[in-house]
Amino acid sequence: MNKLLSLILSVAALAAPALSHAADPAATAEARVAAFKKMLRTFEPMGTVVREREPYRKDAFAEQAKTLQMLAREPWPLFVPGTAVGKSRAKPEIWSQPDAFKKEQQGMIVAVDALAASAQAGDIKDIRAKYATLANTCKSCHDSFRAPQR
């Protein structure tokens, strides 16, 4: 009986965030936008280092990459149908082409993980290549699933 109760509680815990997001689409869209902005505030400073506008400091860069790795997983559960409202630039294709959207998400996660691994190793040439790959995954997804700025 304890296993069944545990399973029910686990399923309920996983479903609760989705239900709360469905109840307030605007709040969900705002949370999603905020999650992407947090990622951008980490990604952009890394770009200044990659482009040699700021000095490369291995430990600091590796920490930023680790933070980006964590942040990169936050926005995806917030893509709930009916939440393309407010400041959201989410295109309807996100929900009409879920497999393609999922593939973009997975590509981004793989690229972030590769950048974080490269940052830990500290080879700036490899870091530049991994950063460029990640930037390209962002662009690819934006081209397909993000509406132009209004």
pLDDT tens by residue, 68-102:
999 999 999 999 999 999 888 999 999 999 999 99
Ligand-binding site membership of 21 (annotated)? no
- Per the structure, the count of domains in the chain is 1
Ligand-binding site membership of 141 (annotated)? yes
Is 150 within the bounds of a domain? no
Segment 23-32 shows an average pLDDT of 92
CATH of the domain at 130: 1.20.120.10
Question: For residue range 118-144, what is the model confidence (pLDDT) as tens digits?
Answer: 999 999 999 999 999 999 999 999 999
The one-character DSSP state at 53 is S
Q: Where in the sequence is the domain holding 30, given as residue range(s)?
A: 25-145
47 in Cβ contact with 131 (< 8 Å): yes
Is 12 within the bounds of a domain? no
Is 31 within the bounds of a domain? yes
Within 10 Å of residue 24's Cβ, how many Cβ atoms?
13
74 in Cβ contact with 33 (< 8 Å): no
Is 59 within the bounds of a domain? yes
Is 2 within the bounds of a domain? no
Is 17 within the bounds of a domain? no
For the chain, percent of residues with pLDDT exceeding 70: 85
For every residue of 81-122, DSSP letters joined together read TT---TT--B-THHHHSHHHHHHHHHHHHHHHHHHHHHHHHT
14 vs 143, which has greater pLDDT?
143
Instruction: Report the C-alpha gap between 72 and 89 in whole angstroms.
Output: 18
Is 14 within the bounds of a domain? no
For the chain, percent of residues with pLDDT exceeding 90: 81
